């Protein structure tokens, strides 16, 4: 990986019908599990979705997951607070895992997008119900992915006015 994967990463919502290989899915999961976590607790679980009926069902209830109808696969990132060493940090841990997957997908030539689930309680409950997720596990984010059917130029988001050095005394 290089800065190119980070800077060229964009939210891709259109995919070709080509399936994603099991090897590519495993590499994305490895990237997720390589993320840092508070106290190395790794308070996460991942639900890999490749069944069309499940991906379509998510698009039926999630207002921002229409692309799941096209995606050949998705990963649902779930937090497990019972595994935390430092309570409350699971959200940061899962966020790092999601970002690792987005960058890894870009590096593999796949397209992916981060679709928020938590803290929207209705989305959390619908996801829990659809996938039979136990009560103690919190559906956090969905990442639909596949071979991209769209290209986007890199976004130039660097804004030096948002950078403060040695305090907020600019």
What is the percent of the chain with per-residue pLDDT over 70, rounded to a whole number? 99
Mean pLDDT of all residues in 83-92: 97
Instruction: Indicate the pTM of the whole model.
Output: 0.96
**18-148: CATH, from 3.40.109.10, 3.60.15.10, 1.10.1530.10, 3.30.70.20:** 3.40.109.10
Give tens-digit pLDDT for 20-79: 999 999 999 999 999 999 999 999 999 999 999 999 999 999 999 999 999 999 999 999
Residues 96-112, mean pLDDT to the nearest whole number: 98
- Nearest 5 degrees, angle CA 81-CA 42-CA 9? 110
Return d(Cα 79, Cα 28) in angstroms, integer. 17
**Strand 111-112 relative to strand 115-116: parallel, antiparallel, unpaired?**
unpaired
* pLDDT over 60 (residue 1): no
Assess whether pLDDT exceeds 90 at residue 152: yes
> In the prediction, which pLDDT does 169 show?
79
**Is residue 170 pLDDT above 70, yes or no?**
no
Residue that has been written with the tokens 């019908």 in this structure:
17
Concatenated DSSP letters of 17-55? SPPPPHHHHHHHHHHHHTS--GGG---EEEEEE--HHHH
- Reading the block at residue 86, the tokens are 């430092």
pLDDT of residue 83: 98
Q: To 5 degrees, how large is the angle CA 84–CA 112–CA 89?
A: 15
Selection from 156, 163, 151 nearest residue 7 by Cα: 156
Hey, what are 104's tokens?
């890894």
DSSP per position, 78-98 = EE-GGG-SSTTTHHHHHHHHH
Residue 41 has a pLDDT of 98
């Amino acid at each position: 990986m290089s800065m190119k994967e980070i800077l060229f990463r964009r939210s891709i919502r259109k995919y070709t019908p080509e399936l994603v290989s099991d090897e590519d899915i495993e590499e994305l999961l490895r990237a997720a599990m390589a993320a840092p976590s508070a106290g190395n607790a790794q308070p996460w679980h991942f639900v890999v979705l490749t069944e069309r009926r499940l991906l379509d069902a998510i698009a039926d209830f999630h207002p921002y997951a229409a692309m799941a109808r096209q995606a050949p696969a998705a990963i649902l990132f779930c937090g497990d607070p019972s595994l935390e060493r430092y309570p409350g940090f699971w959200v940061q841990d899962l966020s790092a895992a999601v970002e690792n997957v987005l960058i890894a997908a870009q590096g593999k030539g796949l397209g992916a997008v981060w679709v928020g689930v938590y803290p929207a309680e209705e989305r959390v409950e619908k996801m829990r119900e659809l996938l039979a997720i136990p009560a103690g596990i919190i559906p956090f984010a969905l990442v639909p992915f596949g071979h991209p059917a769209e290209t986007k130029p890199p976004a130039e988001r660097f804004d030096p006015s948002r950078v403060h050095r040695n305090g907020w005394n600019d």
